[in-house]
Structure 1
C-alpha cells in the first residue's frame, strides 16, 4: 500500500477553528437577530458554509466553530446541515460556544476565543491549527497554504490578499514583508499602507486566516493571556508581538488558474452584501457555485421546484437574469436581475428588480421593488413601492444606504421579529 501524500498527511494533522462569533454591526438590522456568519448568501447558503466547505474540500475534516453573539440560528444551521460527520472516522464539526472555561469572561478577542478552548485543542492533539474567520465568502484550498507553511519552517503563517493601496487604506490590517515573504512589520488599518516589494501599487492585507504549529500557538496564547495590557486579538496583539523574534510568513492568496488576486468578499456592509449577491447572477461570476469539482454544502429543506404561473400580456410569471431557489412561486409577476432565496412568493402584477429577497418573503400584489434587500419572513403589503423614491423610503422607516440600496425588515414593517 502506498503511503499518504504529503498534502493528505498535513490536512489530517490539522485542526481547523472557525471564529464565528462576530456581530457584523455595519449590516445594521440584518444582524439584529443573527451573527454575521449565519447571514444568508447566494440563494441557499449561509456565510459560514463557505469556510466549512473550503475545509472539507481541502481534506480538513476536524473542525470547531466558535460561537458567541446571538448564535441560535447559527447553531441550528450547523446541527441541521453539518452534523453528519463521524467522530469514529476521525472527523467532526463541533460547536464551541463561549463557556468561560478559563475565566469569568466571555470571549474577549480572537486570540482569547482560541485560548479559552486550549483543553479541547489539546485533546485532539493536532500538529497544526488552522484559524479561520467565519464571516467571509470565498473559495480556497487550504492544503496549499499548509504545504507552503510546512516547507517554510515558519512558526506562523498569515493568509493575505494583494489589495490596491487605495482600497486597503483605513480598511485592512497590512503586512510588511521582505523578499522571502517573511513578515517584518504590521500596521492595523493604516492611512498610507506599505506596498509590496516590487509592486508599488498593492499591499498585503490580512484575511484573518492563520496557521500555527500547535505547541507554539499554546505558548503564545498563554503568554498573551497573562498580559493585562493586551486586547487578546491576533491582529492587534499576537502578530505584532511575534514578528521581531519569530518566523512569521505571509501567504498570498491567489487564483490557482490565473495567478491573479482570488475572489474574496467581506460582505460587511449593506452595499457589499447586495453587490456580492448581485455578482452571482452574471453569466460568468467570479465565484462559480456550479463548479462540480468544488461543492459548497449547506442545510437544505426538502422543497418543490420553483414555479412560474400565468402567461397573459399583463400578467406573466417570469424571471430574467435571476437566480430563483426551490419553493418559490412567481405568480403573474416579473423578476429581473434579482436573487430569490427559498420559499419566496411574488404575487400578480408585481415587479422585483435588482433585489435580494431572503427566505420566506411574501410580496403582495402590485408591489414594485428595486435595489432592495428584504429580510427573512417579511410580508410586503399589496401596492407597496420600495426603492423608487429615496425620501419616501426613509419616511417609511426603511434603511437606505449611501448608494440607494434599501433594507426592509419585519420590524420596519411593524411585523413580529425574533427569528433568523
Structure 2
C-alpha cells in the first residue's frame, strides 16, 4: 500500500467523557484494561496493510503522543517507507485551531502532499470496531469513485447523530443529510438508516481540490459531513461502502464511546461470557503498549479467615495487579491495581495504579489512574454523598472519579455494610 496515506483525526475535546478527558484526549482514554481507544483504528490500519499514517492531534495531546511513541513506533520501519507521525497543530496555513474535520486536513495539506499519495484514507480515532480498510480501498478503485464513505446500518434514533445517506442499487450515493431530525430510511426497511462512519477514501488529487475550494468559502463550517460531501454528490462519483465487520460475531460491532454511560457499557460487555467484541481474536490482533509488569496475583485463600479471600469472577484483571484478600466481580482491573483485604469491587472499571483500601466497597464506578481509595470507604451506594465529594455522577447512577483525585476518609463510618 505504498500509494496510500492514512490520516487519523485525533484532536477532539471529548467533553462528554469528562472527567476521563480532563487530562487526556479522547483517543487516549483507556479501554478494556490495557488498550487505548486509538489502538482500534491503528490496529485496523496495520491489519489492513496501511503503514503510512499521520495522526492529527490538538487538545491535551501529551498522553496520546507518549502512547504512540512508546507503544507504536516499533511497528513501523522508516527505511521501508513506513511511518506513524503525530502531527500537532502548526498554524502553517491559518492562525486558528482546527475549525472542522475538513479544516484539520486542509491545515496539514503540505505534510500530506509530501507523501505523494494516490489515495488518502481519513479516519476518526475515537471509535471501537474492527474493519479491513483494504477491502474498502479495493471497492473504491473498482467503482472508479472520487470518494467512498464507510456506511453503517443504524436505527432511526441513532441516525440523528450521524450523516445519513441515500444510495442506489450500485451503492452510489444520491443524497446526504448531516444529523437530520427526520432521517430518511433505507428503501424497503422503514426501521433503519444508512449512516456515515466518518471513514473516507479519497483520490488524493480530488481531495486537495475540494479542500482548497472549501477553504475559500467563508460561509463554510469546513466539515466533511456538513459541507464538502453534500456539495459534490451531484457532480462526482461518490459511493457508500457497507461496513464489513472483522469481529466475526453474529452482529456487526461498532461503538461510539462518546459518553460516560456508553463508554462504561462497552467496557462492561468485555466481562460477559461471550462478549460482542472479541479481543482474543488472533486473526485480527489488537496491538497496544504493554508495560513490563509481573502477572496478576491473587492471595489469601480464606483458610484461616473465610471472609478474607482474594478472587475475581467474570472480570478482566491486567498485569501487575494484586487482589489481596478482596473480592472483584464483573469488573475491569487495569495494570498495577491493588485491591486490599475485606474490600469489594463490583461492576466497576479501575484504571492503572488504583489502590482500594481495606473494608472499602465500590459499585458501578469508573476510577481513573492513580486514585487511592481510603479504608472503610463506600463509592456508588449513596449518590448524593458521592456528588458532595466532587465525584461525577451520570444520569444512570454511574460514579466517575477523576485522575489522581484525593479522597478524604469517611469519618465515623465504621465498617460499611452493603445496601
Whether 2:334 is the aligned partner of 1:341: answer yes
* Aligned match of 2:168: 178
Q: Is the 8 A contact 1:327 1:344 kept in 2?
A: yes
Unpaired runs of at least 5, structure 1: 1-10, 416-420
* Aligned match of 1:203: 193
Distance in 2 between the 1:259 and 1:336 partners?
25
* Aligned match of 2:97: 106
Moved more, 191-200 or 55-64: 191-200
Q: Deviations over 1:214-265 (max 9, x none)?
A: 0000000000111111111111111111111111111110336879652111
Q: Is the 8 A contact 1:355 1:371 kept in 2?
A: yes
Q: CA deviation at 1:378?
A: 0.5
* Aligned match of 1:32: 22
* Aligned match of 1:365: 358
Distance in 2 between the 1:331 and 1:207 partners?
44
Whether 2:384 is the aligned partner of 1:391: answer yes
* Aligned match of 1:79: 69
Distance in 1 between the 2:31 and 2:249 partners?
26
Q: CA deviation at 1:211?
A: 0.5
Q: CA deviation at 1:117?
A: 1.4
Distance in 1 between the 2:32 and 2:258 partners?
15
Whether 2:119 is the aligned partner of 1:128: answer yes
Q: CA deviation at 1:191?
A: 2.1
Whether 2:232 is the aligned partner of 1:232: answer no
The structure-2 alpha-carbon separation of the partners of 1:355 and 1:114, relative to structure 1 and needing over 3 Å to count, comes to same
Q: CA deviation at 1:173?
A: 1.8
- How many positions carry a matched residue from both structures? 404
* Aligned match of 2:397: 404
Distance in 2 between the 1:411 and 1:284 partners?
33
Q: CA deviation at 1:409?
A: 1.6
Distance in 2 between the 1:212 and 1:367 partners?
54
* Aligned match of 2:110: 119
Cα RMSD (Å) of the superposition? 1.5
* Aligned match of 2:280: 290
Q: CA deviation at 1:355?
A: 0.4
Q: CA deviation at 1:35?
A: 0.5
Q: Is the 8 A contact 1:318 1:335 kept in 2?
A: yes
Whether 2:139 is the aligned partner of 1:145: answer no
* Aligned match of 1:314: 307
Q: CA deviation at 1:390?
A: 2.1
Q: Deviations over 1:367-388 (max 9, x none)?
A: 1011100011111111110111
* Aligned match of 1:6: none
Moved more, 188-197 or 375-384: 188-197
Q: Is the 8 A contact 2:321 2:338 kept in 1?
A: yes
Distance in 2 between the 1:404 and 1:196 partners?
36
Q: Is the 8 A contact 1:21 1:68 kept in 2?
A: yes
Q: Is the 8 A contact 1:254 1:260 kept in 2?
A: no
Q: Deviations over 1:272-327 (max 9, x none)?
A: 11100011111221211111111111111100000011111110000000000000
Moved more, 173-182 or 375-384: 173-182
Please give the TM-score of this superposition, normalised by the length of structure 2: 0.93
Q: Is the 8 A contact 2:132 2:244 kept in 1?
A: no
* Aligned match of 1:190: 180
Q: CA deviation at 1:179?
A: 2.4
* Aligned match of 2:53: 63
